[in-house]
Structure 1
Amino acid sequence: MSYLLAKETHSLLLGESASLEVRQRIVDMVEADADVEDVSQLISMHRGPEDVILALKVHFLRTLEVNAVEESIDRIEATLREEMPELKRIFIEPDSHYDASKDDSGLDAPPRTT
């Protein structure tokens, strides 16, 4: 018994990611929010059996004002904490819809020769 406990705790101490089931549950909960288009990135790490750090990049609706995005983030964090109390630290970053491949600013243009 102690061997199994030590083995499990050891893997968690090494920063193991949350299981695929847990990560999918998080994505499903976040994407169920009316202000969210999708989750573009999810990073999780166990710090202990009941201590998980979560970082998300989320595409919010393009029509939202900044204060509405802040309210959405607060609401999503509250929902996640209520449903999954093992999530001790949650970081949610709004992700940009910016597509660098369509940038026409000329910043990537070669230097001019005179």
Structure 2
Amino acid sequence: MLTTTPVVPGRRTLAIYTESEVDRMWLLHSLRYRRRELTAVTQGEQARAMRRKDFSRYKIPWPTDAVRRDFARRAAALHDLAYASAKERHVMEELVVHELEKEGLARLTSASGMPS
């Protein structure tokens, strides 16, 4: 997961650090792309647990710097669009909730005979 805020991993959480944004974008893509393979070696009630040893054996393909840079450039643009879309959706939801609350208050006020 990419996040815009710093995260402190909890107990029994594997945090992976990369030196560059380019490597981080590639790693995220590679892990997401192979999530079914990774899920196959998970354990626990919800199949979300994986031993560090099992993860360390997992081979992540690592293309040339040029390929990773090109991928990161394209992926970053898509991530920016997704983030902007999520932000816009949140603003629209807040607007709808605000308008519904305002409408509900107006109805309550008119039903009780109190001036609005």
Greater gyration radius? 2
Question: TM-score, structure 2 length as denominator?
Answer: 0.18
Question: TM-score, structure 1 length as denominator?
Answer: 0.18
More strand by share: 1
